[in-house]
Structure 1
Amino acid sequence: MKIAIVIPAHNEAMTIANCLASVQTAIAQLPSTIAAYPLVVLDSCTDETLTIVKGTGVDYISYDYRCVGRVRDLGIRHAITHGATWIACTDADSVVTKDWLVQQITHITDQPTDMICGVVSVDSWVNLTPQTRADYMAHYQDMMGHRHIHGANLSFSSEAYLTVGGFAPLRCHEDVDLVKKFESKGYAITWSNRVRVITSSRLDARATEGFAAFLANLEKGNLQ
């Protein structure tokens, strides 16, 4: 098995180093029989993201689309052509847990699956109102069998990905669209809270209807 961890990045100089460090830690927990490597897909970066990525020695490719669905797809297809059989997606403003990849392998081994939808935790609630946190916690199902979909914590087999046609060139909700494609083809999906990612509580959204926008809308409602 060869795992590629594909990470899109648009102006993520403040967060990319921590993201990559967490991914490298997760890779180090894998048995020697499993190869894994991160691939950063830079998209229209005008800050120091590229410089930071170069400094880590991590593989990267660069595009200028400002479209997360398109660059995710290009990065994944690049990884597949280089032999990746399993793709793990996260985001540059997130950090994965130490056992993030180990838990994915455990799921695949215990009950073969074509896709794993993991959960996310928010890194800090300090800058948000207590009501926003309460509303979020009431909404979020942190349990096995949840039905949340996060591009920051989504993994799948390369073969199935190619069969369904991959991520659509969407600026947001490309992750939801991909899961629907897997479901429509009858692929096995594991909805796991053992595969975990910690994501940023920032309200400055890179995707207009992404996770940051979701938090921002909650916060806006509670400040009115």
Structure 2
Amino acid sequence: MRISVVIPAHNEEAYLPGALEAVFAQTLKPLEVIVVDNASSDRTREVAEALGARVVLCGRKGVAFARQAGLLAARGEWVAMTDADSLPTPRWLERLAEKAPGAVALYGPLRFYGVSPWEAAFSEWGYRAFLNLMALLGRPNLAGANMMVLKEAALRAGGFPEVEAREDVLLGWKLKALGPVRYVPEALVLTSARRLKGGWLPFLLRQARNLLGDPRGYFGGGGERER
């Protein structure tokens, strides 16, 4: 499989080396690794190039714009995405690729790092339960830190919507109309606990919006709610 890995990055010189090391260490080697420098003012571009990534510049600040720039620039048939503060486990791409035939998108679970052992376990197994529930409800919950899309299908669906957040979830809902969107429990990615800024309750409330939110809100122009 020809897989491009895309990592959007805005001022991520501190986190980026870990993410790139994890991607380059995959058991299934990607065709290319793209870092989208999203209007960074630090050494994000220099760090990415020094570590062997292809850099694509995106001057319009916002993760949705960065993801779309990476999607358009990718040379692979499949485009996997993770975040600059995330660490895909070694068989991440391999596990996604195993379930790719016949699908248009795939996604997997996340676990926080940089927290206590019980918080790490809670984050992983709580999120796994959430993803299982969403899958049963027919509402795939793609996360930008752990997803892979068939490029042709993603472009046919219009790519990432130009919203402040939840662009990954909204694209997943659109892709579901084009073919199977599969949850891959074995494709684990570790991600920074900085997502817990403000505490667990605000974080969980944001996730609940994905469960309770009406996908028709996006198609009617109301998709800019915070993820």
**TM-score normalised by the chain length of structure 2:** 0.78
Matched, 1:115 2:105: yes
> What CA RMSD, in Å, does the superposition of the two structures yield over aligned residues?
2.6
Give the secondary structure class of the aligned counterpart of 2:152.
helix
Give the secondary structure class of the aligned counterpart of 1:167.
coil
- Higher RCO (C-alpha 8 Å, min separation 6): 1
2:77 maps to which of 70, 85, 104? 85
Q: How many angstroms apart in 1 are the aligned matches of 2:95 and 2:148? A: 11
Q: Give 1:50 shift.
A: 1.5
Specify every segment of 5 or more residues in structure 2 that has no aligned partner in the other structure, as ranges. Answer: 135-140, 204-227
Rate the CA distance shift 1:146–1:49 in 2: closer, same or farther, 3 A.
farther
Give the secondary structure class of the aligned counterpart of 2:128.
coil
> Matched residues, percent identical?
26
Matched, 1:170 2:152: no
Q: How many angstroms apart in 1 are the aligned matches of 2:133 and 2:189? A: 15
Structure 1 residues 39-64: Cα deviation after superposition (integer angstroms, max 9, x where no partner): 00001111121221121121011122
2:149 maps to which of 144, 156, 162? 156
Q: Give 1:143 shift.
A: 8.7
Report how many residues are paired.
Answer: 197
Q: How many angstroms apart in 1 are the aligned matches of 2:202 and 2:132? A: 30
Specify every segment of 5 or more residues in structure 1 that has no aligned partner in the other structure, as ranges. Answer: 203-211
Q: How many angstroms apart in 2 are the aligned matches of 1:144 and 1:54? A: 35
Q: Give 1:102 shift.
A: 0.7
Q: Give 1:94 shift.
A: 0.4
2:166 maps to a residue whose letter is: H
Comparing 12-21 with 50-59, greater Cα deviation is found at 50-59
2:144 maps to a residue whose letter is: G
Q: Give 1:120 shift.
A: 0.6
- Give the equivalent residue in structure 1 for 2:172: 179
1:84-103 aligned at under 5 Å gives the runs 84-103=76-95
1:216 maps to which of 185, 190, 198? 198
Q: How many angstroms apart in 1 are the aligned matches of 2:129 and 2:31? A: 27
Q: How many angstroms apart in 2 are the aligned matches of 1:91 and 1:194? A: 18
1:56-95 aligned at under 5 Å gives the runs 56-79=51-74, 82=75, 84-95=76-87
Q: How many angstroms apart in 1 are the aligned matches of 2:202 and 2:120? A: 13
- Indicate if the aligned counterparts of 1:145 and 1:190 stay in contact, CA closer than 8 A: no
